[in-house]
Amino acid sequence: MVAIDYDLEFLEDGRTIDLISIGMVADDGREYYAVSSDAPWDEIKKSDWLVRNVLPSLPLVSRSALDGYLKIPQNSHPKPSLQYVAVNTRDTQVKPQWVIANEVRDFIQATDDAELWANYGAYDHVCLAQLWGPMVALPSGVPMFTNDIQQEARRQGLSWDDLPKQESGEHNALADALHNQTVRRWLAERAQK
């Protein structure tokens, strides 16, 4: 088994889950990070939470428009314009979703026996699997489920407050994936004692 810890940032509205960015780290040392150029940016920019928490670590054309927004208190009216906030398609981390689908498939298939892990990962798993369309189109070698750090913590009688804390980069998908790896390894070590 090669564990792959991952995290997605996404827009969800109770009906659909749209990928914004994905970070993956494998126990063999490989890392992957991408931002979808196909994400519904106009909708994303309507979400104050996503603008404040997810957009700041994405490769943007210009940071100044976002910085102007971030200076204003949450839920101010009228909201500052985000018209000029856009992901930078000249950044190699920004890719069409079909490219991300191919690269993520290759990343997972590079190990014979991948095991997926995420934190509160139900939505992450669905959004990941939908990279390739319906459930029946899941590429071979891509697990049909994601193990959840929360479930392992619960099994060990631990709550979130008992687990190692994330030092920085929260809501950057790669930083979150790396933190998931830290927590998952910490739990695995603890289980062996």
The residues of the shown chain that bind Mg ion, judged by CB under 5 A, are 7, 176
Q: What is the spatial distance between Cα 26 and Cα 132, in angstroms, rounded to a whole number?
A: 20
Closer to Mg ion by Cβ: residue 152 or 176:
176
Instruction: Say how far residue 42 (Cα) sits from the centre of its chain.
Output: 19
Closer to Mg ion by Cβ: residue 93 or 190:
93
Q: Which amino acid is at 170?
A: E
Minimum gap (Å) between residue 48 Cβ and Mg ion:
17
List of E strands, 13-142: 17-26, 31-36, 94-95, 114-118
Closer to Mg ion by Cβ: residue 50 or 187:
50
Closer to Mg ion by Cβ: residue 9 or 152:
9
Minimum gap (Å) between residue 9 Cβ and Mg ion:
5
Minimum gap (Å) between residue 137 Cβ and Mg ion:
25
Rg of the chain's alpha carbons, rounded to an integer?
17
The answer to whether 187 and 151 have CB atoms below 8 angstroms apart is no
| Omega of the bond leading into 80 within 30 degrees of 0 (cis) | no
Minimum gap (Å) between residue 83 Cβ and Mg ion:
26
Q: What is the DSSP letter of 78?
A: S
Minimum gap (Å) between residue 58 Cβ and Mg ion:
12
Residue nearest Mg ion by beta-carbon distance:
176
Q: How many CB atoms lie within 10 A of CB 26?
A: 21
Closer to Mg ion by Cβ: residue 3 or 175:
175
